[in-house]
Amino acid sequence: MSQETTIDARNTFCPGPLMELITYMKQANVGDTLELLSTDAGTASDVPEWARKVGHEMLSSENRDGVWHLRIRKAK
């Protein structure tokens, strides 16, 4: 049974949103979906680039009221 987990990385500079995502991705099972919340503008490009290189699936990316919501499915 795949799970969906939200990672609240708003207003954080270290370790930062992508590092938080990598941490949670290591803990997740294949098929699980992670939603990353971030107020860092760079997240919108950093996360898709990393997901593409590693081979995870970007499901969606949108900015709501200044907060990026990125959903990624663990593929491997």
List the catalytic residues. Answer: 14
Choosing from 1, 53, 64, 66, the residue that interacts with other proteins (CB under 8 A) is 53
**Per-residue x/- track, 1-40, other proteins (CB under 8 A):** -------xx-xxxxxx-xxx-xx--xx-------------
Round to whole Å and give the CA distance between 66 and 3.
Answer: 26
State how far the Cα of 1 lies from the Cα of 23, in Å rounded to an integer: 21
Cα–Cα distance measured from residue 52 to residue 39, given in angstroms and rounded to the nearest whole number: 21
Enumerate binding residues for other proteins (CB under 8 A).
Answer: 8-9, 11-16, 18-20, 22-23, 26-27, 42, 46, 49-50, 53-54
